[in-house]
Chain A
Amino acid sequence: MRKHNNFDRLLIKGGRIINDDHSFYADIYLEDGLIKQIGENLIVPGGVKTIEANGRMVIPGGIDVNTYLQKPYQGMTAVDDFYQGTKAALAGGTTMIIDHVLPEPGSSLLTSFEKWHEAADTKSCCDYSLHVDITSWYDGIREELEILVQDKGVNSFQVYMAYKDLYQMSDSQLYEAFTFLKSLGAVILVHAENGDLIAQEQKRILEMGITGPEGHALSRPEELEAEAVFRAITIASRINCPVYITKVMSKSAADIIALARKKGPLVFGEPITASLGTDGTHYWSKNWAKAAAFVTSPPLSPDPTTPDHLNSLLACGDLQVTGSGHCPYSTAQKAIGKDNFTMIPEGVNGIEERMTVVWDKAVATGKMDESQFVAVTSTNAAKIFNLYPRKGRIAVGSDADVVIWDPDKVKTITAKSHKSAVEYNIFEGMECHGAPLVVISQGKIVFEDGNLHVNKGMGRFIPRKPFPEYLYQRIKIRNKVVGELQGVSRGMYDGPVYEIPAMPKYATPAPSTKSSPAKNQPPPIRNLHQSNFSLSGAQIDDNNPRRTGHRIVAPPGGRSNITSLG
C-alpha cells in the first residue's frame, strides 16, 4: 500500500464490524470523512483505495475522555502538547480526545476556553472536544457557563474536591454548582479526593522527613478518594443530577460507585489507563525519576490487586468509561519537586496505551468480549458526552473514525518506541496482546504499518449539545416522579409561644494572629413576630384536651385551640 493521506474514498473489505451491541461481517465504504455504505458487494466508484481487513475486527475509533495536553503548572506545560499527544492517541487507536481546559483559579472560563480551542485547532491531529474545569466559583460564572453550553459546544464541566486553597470547592459550592449545571443540562465531572485531609497528611508526612514520591501516595490514601466519591454522590443524589467521577484509581472508590448505582443515583466512573494497567508500588522505587513519573492524583493504588478489580467492574458495567488522564511531564519538570513531593507536577502517560491495555487486561483475560470493549473505549463515552452516534459507532452516516484491530498482535510497551515525548513510560515492559493495525481518522488513513501519517491541525473541534439523552432522559422522568414537594396543610400554629432570651453568639474568643481555620459567622436573627397569617375553623384534633407548658407568652389575638395537647 502506498502512503497517501488525502484519500477521500476508502473501502474496507472483509472485516468484522464490531459495535457495542453486536458484530457482523460486512464491507465499509467511506467518503468525505463519513461512513457512506455498509454491506456486502457494495457498489463503489472506480479507483477507490481498498483495504483488505482479512477477517480482522473493525471497530469504532477510541474516544479518550480525559486528557490534559495543555495543563499549566508553574508556568510550564506538559511535554505532550496537542500535536504530540494526539499523534500518540492515533498511534494507539484513539481517534478522538476530550481535553480538559484548566483555567487559572479566578480567571475567566471563556478566555481559557478560547485559548485551549486555539491551541488545539492549530495542533491537534485528531478530532477533539473540550471539558472545562471550574477552578473557582466566582460572580459571573453562571453567564459564562451558559455561553459555553449554548454557543460554544461545551457540555461537561469538572469540579474539584481536592487541592485545598487552590481549586477545591466546599460542599455548599458543590451543591450550588451541581444545581446550576443540572439546569444547563451539562455533565458534571468530579475530581474526588478530600483536599482538607490531604493537606493535613501532606504536612504530617513532610514533618516526618518523607519528601520523595512515596509521600505522594502516603498522603493520599485511597480512603480519602472513596470518601470524596461518597460525598459527591450524596450531593448529586440530593439534587437528582448525574455525576461522573473522573479517574477512579482505587478499589474502594470503585466499590462506592458500584454500591451507589445499585441504590439508584446516576453515577458514572472512569478508570484510566494507569489504574487499569499498573499499580502504585513504583512510588517506592529507588529510582527517583521513575517513582516521580507515576505521580498523579488520585494516586495509583499501592494495592497490586487494583487493576484486576477495576477491570472486573468495567466488564460488569459498574464502571463505564475509560480515559487516560494523559499529562506527562519530563523528568526535569518533575524534578521541581525533588525535595518536596507536593511540588511534583502531576500526570502520567496513557493516551497511546489505553486501548491496548484494556484489551490485554479485560478482553485477553476473558473478562469482557469485543463488543464490551467497544463500549468502554468508545461508545459509552460518546453516549454520555452526547457525540453518539456520530462517534462511537460504525453506522451509515457516522464519522469515518475506524480502527482495524489485530487481537493477536503482541506489543511490548516501552519508552523507547512510544510516541510521547516523556522519558519514562509507566507501563514500561508490559507485554500487551491486541493492537491497532490501521487507524482511520476522518476517512483518512493516519496509521498503517506502524507509521503515522498526520498533519498538524487536521483535527476538528466537535461541539457537543447539552442534555445528553443517555443521562437526562432518566433525570427528567425522576424530576417528574419526585414532583414538587408539598408541605402539610395544617394551618398555622397559634398556641402559646415561648419568648427566647437574647443570647450572645458563638465567636472565637480573642482572635489570634494565627487565626484558626474556623470561619464562624454569626447566624442571622429572624424576627419571629413578623407573621400575619391566621387560621380559623375546626381542626381535626379539636377534641383533644390541652395541657399548657410553663413560661408562656400570650399570643396576639388570644389562644386558639389548634394546638390541642395531649
Chain B
Amino acid sequence: MLFPGKAPDRLLIKGGKIVNDDQSFYADIFVEDGLIKQIGEDLLVPAGVRTVDAGGQLVVPGGLDAHTRLRAPGTSPADDLHRGTKAALAGGTTMIIDHVLPEPGATLAAACERWRDSARRQACCDYALHLDLPRWHESLAEELRALAKDKGVNSFLVFMAYKDKLQCTDAQMYEIFSIIRDLGAIAQVHAENGDIIDEEQKRLLELGITGPEGHVLSRPEEVEAEAVYRAITIAKQANCPLYVTKIMSKGAADVLAQAKRKGAVVYGEPITASLGTDGSHYWSKNWAKAAAFVTSPPISPDPTTSDHLTSLLACGDLQVTGSAHCVFTTAQKAVGKDDFTLIPEGTNGIEERMSVIWEKCVVSGKMDENDFVAVTSTNAAKIFNCYPRKGRIAVGSDADLVLWNPKATKIISAKTHNSNAEYNIFEGLECHGAPSVVISQGRVVLEEGSLFVTPGSGRFIPRKTFPDFVYKRIKARNRLAEVHGVPRGLYDGPVHDAAVAAAPRTAPCSGKGQALAVRNLHRSGFSLSGSQADDHIARRTAQKIIAPPGGRSTITSLS
C-alpha cells in the first residue's frame, strides 16, 4: 500500500503483459528515477524496491491525449490544468498536449510562457503545447521559427471557422503551411467552413431557433467535410503535412481517408465525444444537458457516426485520438441561453478517452490491444515527435505506465468523474476496461481508485521539429517536386498592341479589381536564330499585328 505524498523512486512491476503497438509479451519492468531501466524476467533489482503485482493485467504505455484545452483567454474552462490533468491521470492518460490560444494582443511566445507558468503550478502530468494561430501577421514566420527552434513547440493550428475572429483565408493558410513546412512542424487545422456557418447561423436565428439544436443545425457535417477537403488540397499544394483536429462526422472522415489513398500526408484525430456518443442530445428538452454537448465541429446527430469512426480508427485511416477536453459549467454555458452562437464550446472526455476507446473498439473486436496502444498513445508520440520517450514501453523510455484491467466495469457518471462539470456527455455509458494502476514519471498516481497527484509535478516536454514519422516522406517529395520550364526561347512573333488596353482601367468596384500590371513587351534583348522544328510549316498572319523590333522571326510559325 502506498501512502500519498511519499514518492518512491524505484518500482518493480511484476507479472504483467507488456503491450506495445507492435507486440505483447510477458515481462517484469523495473523503474528508477522516472525511467524504465530494465525489462525482462528475473530482474536483478536493489533490495527494498516497492513491487506492484500486475497479476496478469496488461501493462500499456500511458495514454497521450493529443488535444486538450485546459486554459483559455476570457472565460476560463471549469477544468484548469490541475483539475484536467488529475482527470487525465484517473483515466490512464499520462501526458497531454494542450492548445495555447494566445490572448488578443499578446505575442505568441508570451502566450506560451503564460501557459507554462500556469502549468508549472498546476499540471499533475507531463504536457506539451500546441499553438493556435489566431491571426495572420507579418512577423509570423519569425515568431514561429523562434518557437519551433527554442521553445519546443512544433505544432500549430489554424482555424477555417469563426468568421471575422479566428478564421484564415485560403491564401493565408497556404502561406502559413509553407512556413510550417520549412520549419519542419505539423500544421493542424480546425476544419469547418466559417463563411457558410456564419450564414446558417444568421438564418437560424432569424427563424427563431436559439437553443443548442441551432448549433448543430448551423454546422452540418457537409460544412466540416468541405473544409477538410479544402485543407488537404491546400496542404498538398504546399507539400506540408496536415493534422485535422476533431474529426466529428462520417463525411469528414471519409474525405480524409480518400485523400490518404491518393497519397496525401494527412492525419485525422477523432475525439472521445465523436467516438463515444452522438449529437441527438442537442434536441434534449433539458437546456443545460443539450448545452453540455456544444462543441465545434458539433457531434453528429447521425447515431451511426461513432461506429463508422471507430472502424476507420481500427483500419488506420484515422490515427490519433484526443479528447478536446474543455468543459464549462452550466452557468458559463448559459451565457448563450438566448443565442446558441454564444454558448462557450467544449465537452469533456479527458478522463473517459481510454475507456471509451477500449469499450467501442477492443471489446467490440474492431482492434486488438496493440492497435489500442497505437491510437491512444504511440501514434501521437510519433507524429508529435516525443517517441520513443513516450508511447512505448522500452528501456530508456519515460516510466509512464498503466496497468489496464480489461475485466473492470465502470459506468461513466458526473457523480463520480473528476471533472468540475455538472454534466458528463457520456452519462450512463458502461465501459468494460479501466486502468487499475497509473504510473506517471515512475510514481504511482492511481491505485485502488485513489488518486495521489501533486499539482506542479508535470513537466513540459519540448518537442523537436522534423518528426521522422511525418517528414521523411515530405522531404522526399520536396526533392521530386522541382518543376522546370520548357526551354523554348522567347516568342518574338507579332504581338497584339496592348497599349490601348493599357489605359488604366478604372476599377469601379470598391477597392477590388486592381488593373493588371502592364509590362513592356518590347523590352527584350533575347533573340533566337537558327532553324526550328516547325520551320517547314507555312505561316498565316493574324489581323492587327505590330511588327516586332528586329523584324519577324520564324519561331512562331503559324499553321
- What is A's interface to B at a CB cutoff of 8 Å? 73-76, 79, 104-107, 136, 138, 164-166, 170-172, 175-176, 194, 196-197, 199-201, 205, 208-212, 214-215, 218, 221, 223-224, 226-227, 230-231, 234-235, 237-238, 284-289, 291-292, 330-333, 335-336, 338-340, 343, 415-416, 421, 423-424, 428, 484-488, 490-498, 500-501, 503-509, 512, 514, 516-518, 520-523, 526, 528, 531, 533, 539-541, 544, 547-553, 562-566
**Contact A487 B214, beta carbon cutoff 8 Å:** yes
Chain A CB within 8 A of B48 CB? no
Tell me which of B138, B204, B214, B233 contacts A223 (CB under 8 A). B233
Chain A nearest Cβ from B302, distance in angstroms: 13
> With A234-B223, A424-B559, A495-B331 given, is the CB distance from A171 to B196 under 8 Å?
yes
Tell me which of B164, B211, B423, B483 contacts A487 (CB under 8 A). B211
Tell me which of B107, B330, B501, B514 contacts A74 (CB under 8 A). B501
- Interface-central residue, B193, B225, B486, B488, by most chain A CB under 10 Å: B486
Contacts of B555 in A (CB 8 A): 287-288
**Contact A223 B237, beta carbon cutoff 8 Å:** yes
**Contact B342 A205, beta carbon cutoff 8 Å:** no
**Contact A197 B285, beta carbon cutoff 8 Å:** no
Q: Residue-by-residue, is B279-320 near A (CB-CB < 8 Å gives 1, otherwise 0)? A: 000011111111100000000000000000000000000000
Q: What residue in chain B is nearest A507 (Cβ atoms)?
A: B104
**Contact A518 B331, beta carbon cutoff 8 Å:** no
Bound Cα distance from A520 to B330, whole angstroms: 30
Bound Cα distance from A543 to B361, whole angstroms: 35
**Contact B488 A286, beta carbon cutoff 8 Å:** yes
Q: Provide a sorted-by-A list of 11 A–B residue pairs whose CB atoms are within 8 angstroms.
A: A74-B502, A209-B485, A230-B230, A330-B544, A488-B211, A490-B285, A503-B74, A526-B342, A551-B332, A564-B286, A565-B288
**Contact A516 B285, beta carbon cutoff 8 Å:** no
Tell me which of A235, A509, A514, A552 contacts B331 (CB under 8 A). A552
Contacts of B220 in A (CB 8 A): 238
Tell me which of B199, B209, B534 contacts A485 (CB under 8 A). B209
Tell me which of B230, B331, B502, B534 contacts A498 (CB under 8 A). B331
**Contact B334 A495, beta carbon cutoff 8 Å:** yes
Bound Cα distance from A74 to B524, whole angstroms: 21
Q: What residue in chain A is nearest B209 (Cβ atoms)?
A: A487
Chain A CB within 8 A of B208 CB? yes
**Contact B508 A104, beta carbon cutoff 8 Å:** yes
Contacts of A172 in B (CB 8 A): 163, 195, 198-199
**Contact A227 B233, beta carbon cutoff 8 Å:** yes
Chain A CB within 8 A of B136 CB? yes
Bound Cα distance from A553 to B331, whole angstroms: 8
Chain A CB within 8 A of B491 CB? yes
**Contact A565 B493, beta carbon cutoff 8 Å:** no
Contacts of B493 in A (CB 8 A): 289, 331-332, 335
**Contact A343 B516, beta carbon cutoff 8 Å:** yes
Bound Cα distance from A339 to B534, whole angstroms: 21
**Contact B500 A75, beta carbon cutoff 8 Å:** yes
Q: What residue in chain B is nearest A227 (Cβ atoms)?
A: B233
Bound Cα distance from A196 to B136, whole angstroms: 15
Q: What residue in chain B is nearest A171 (Cβ atoms)?
A: B195
**Contact A506 B134, beta carbon cutoff 8 Å:** yes
**Contact A506 B104, beta carbon cutoff 8 Å:** yes
Contacts of A504 in B (CB 8 A): 103-105
**Contact B422 A547, beta carbon cutoff 8 Å:** yes
**Contact B533 A286, beta carbon cutoff 8 Å:** yes
- Interface-central residue, A223, A415, A562, by most chain B CB under 10 Å: A223
**Contact B199 A415, beta carbon cutoff 8 Å:** no
**Contact B556 A287, beta carbon cutoff 8 Å:** yes
Contacts of B367 in A (CB 8 A): none
Chain B nearest Cβ from A40, distance in angstroms: 49
- Interface-central residue, A106, A218, A331, A428, by most chain B CB under 10 Å: A331
Bound Cα distance from A335 to B546, whole angstroms: 11
Chain B nearest Cβ from A447, distance in angstroms: 24
**Contact A518 B136, beta carbon cutoff 8 Å:** yes
Contacts across chains A and B counted by CB atoms under 8 Å: 343
**Contact B330 A496, beta carbon cutoff 8 Å:** yes
Contacts of B223 in A (CB 8 A): 234, 238
Tell me which of B135, B233, B503 contacts A75 (CB under 8 A). B503
Chain B nearest Cβ from A412, distance in angstroms: 14
Contacts of A516 in B (CB 8 A): 135-138, 172
> With A197-B237, A287-B534 given, is the CB distance from A539 to B285 under 8 Å?
yes
Within 8 A of A (CB), among B224-254: 225-226, 229-230, 233-234, 236-237
- What is B's interface to A at a CB cutoff of 8 Å? 73-75, 78, 103-105, 107, 134-138, 163-166, 168-172, 174-175, 193, 195-196, 198-200, 204, 207-211, 213-214, 217, 220, 222-223, 225-226, 229-230, 233-234, 236-237, 283-291, 328-332, 334-335, 337-339, 342, 414, 420, 422-423, 483-486, 488, 490-491, 493-496, 498, 500-503, 505, 507-509, 512-514, 516, 519, 521, 524, 532-534, 540, 542-546, 555-559
**Contact B488 A234, beta carbon cutoff 8 Å:** no
Chain A nearest Cβ from B459, distance in angstroms: 29
Q: What residue in chain B is nearest A225 (Cβ atoms)?
A: B233
Q: What residue in chain A is nearest B523 (Cβ atoms)?
A: A339
**Contact B226 A194, beta carbon cutoff 8 Å:** no
Q: What residue in chain B is nearest A531 (Cβ atoms)?
A: B338
**Contact B207 A339, beta carbon cutoff 8 Å:** no
Bound Cα distance from A291 to B170, whole angstroms: 30
Contacts of B532 in A (CB 8 A): 287
**Contact B193 A549, beta carbon cutoff 8 Å:** no
Chain A nearest Cβ from B199, distance in angstroms: 4
Contacts of A552 in B (CB 8 A): 329, 331
Chain A nearest Cβ from B259, distance in angstroms: 10
Bound Cα distance from A484 to B207, whole angstroms: 9
**Contact B342 A194, beta carbon cutoff 8 Å:** no
Contacts of B107 in A (CB 8 A): 509
Bound Cα distance from A520 to B214, whole angstroms: 25
Bound Cα distance from A375 to B495, whole angstroms: 42
Chain B nearest Cβ from A532, distance in angstroms: 10
**Contact A490 B211, beta carbon cutoff 8 Å:** yes
Tell me which of A76, A503, A562 contacts B104 (CB under 8 A). A503
Bound Cα distance from A496 to B503, whole angstroms: 65
- Interface-central residue, A289, A332, A523, by most chain B CB under 10 Å: A332
**Contact A231 B230, beta carbon cutoff 8 Å:** yes
**Contact A175 B105, beta carbon cutoff 8 Å:** no
Chain B nearest Cβ from A283, distance in angstroms: 8
Bound Cα distance from A505 to B137, whole angstroms: 15
> With A172-B195, A487-B209 given, is the CB distance from A563 to B136 under 8 Å?
no
**Contact A498 B335, beta carbon cutoff 8 Å:** yes
**Contact A566 B335, beta carbon cutoff 8 Å:** no
Chain B nearest Cβ from A480, distance in angstroms: 16
**Contact A509 B513, beta carbon cutoff 8 Å:** no
Contacts of B543 in A (CB 8 A): 79, 330, 421
- Interface-central residue, B103, B163, B509, by most chain A CB under 10 Å: B509
- Interface-central residue, A237, A335, A528, by most chain B CB under 10 Å: A335
> With A230-B229, A498-B332, A549-B78 given, is the CB distance from A336 to B496 under 8 Å?
yes
Contacts of A237 in B (CB 8 A): 222
**Contact A74 B137, beta carbon cutoff 8 Å:** no
Contacts of A205 in B (CB 8 A): 483
Chain B nearest Cβ from A275, distance in angstroms: 20
Tell me which of B75, B166, B195, B491 contacts A175 (CB under 8 A). B195
Known contacts A516-B138, A523-B165; 19 additional CB pairs below 8 A are A196-B171, A197-B233, A199-B171, A212-B486, A238-B200, A285-B486, A421-B543, A424-B558, A484-B207, A487-B210, A490-B285, A491-B287, A493-B337, A497-B335, A498-B329, A501-B74, A518-B168, A528-B335, A548-B422
**Contact A336 B483, beta carbon cutoff 8 Å:** no
Chain A nearest Cβ from B424, distance in angstroms: 10
